Amino acid sequence: MAEAKGITTPMVSSLKLSKFGTDTLPDATEYRSIVGALQYVILIKTEIVFYVNKVCQFLATPLLSHWQAVKRILRYLLSTCLQGLLLQPSKAVSKFSICAYNDSDWASDLGDRRSTSGSCIFFSPNLVSWSAKKQPLVARSIDEAEYRGLAHTTSDIFWIQSLLVELKIPVTLLCSYVTMSMQL
């Protein structure tokens, strides 16, 4: 990996990892070691949280496809090691704004058919909260998966809003977007 070429994305969007397969790794020690190290990396490289969580689900019996996904994450880190979150001062306004974005997929995990929701919340121009997690229940439709994700994001917004009220910071809810995608 020392001479690997960097890439711009940590995982192919169409990749569906599964715990079922016959191409098991002969020695999973290196896989577990690197995935464990990646769990520490997510503290400073937050954009890979979802992908590291994905490969962590296969620590018991990793397959060759899981190992290739880990190597792709490492190649992504190689090309983005000098990038990070930019925090900007807010303009002097009487009220600050909260803006949230949410998206969910439907039954993306081939093993248990649960959906994954992701969200990010901005306080003025700065990202202050983000989440990507598997939903606790199996959704019966894409709409149900989207509504569950939206409910989680809404509760996060209310928590942030109540914290800001407690700190006596005036805030308005500027926008909230749900991206609904159709899957056939």
Q: Specify the pTM.
A: 0.62
Rounded Cα gap, residues 43 and 38, in angstroms: 9
Give dist(CA 16, CA 69) in Å, integer: 10
Structure tokens at 33: 């070691």
Radius of gyration of the chain measured on its C-alpha atoms = 19
Query: pLDDT exceeding 90 applies to what percent of the chain?
Result: 16
* Residues 39, 48: Cα–Cα separation, whole Å: 10
Task: Using pLDDT thresholds of 50, 70 and 90, give the confidence band for residue 77.
Answer: very high
What sign for the dihedral angle of Cα 165, 167, 168, 169? negative
Query: Over 90: is that where the pLDDT of 30 sits?
Result: yes
Q: Where are the beta strands (DSSP E) in the chain?
A: 96-104, 116-123, 126-134, 171-179
Which domains are present in the chain? Answer: 1-84 (no CATH), 96-179 (3.30.420.10)
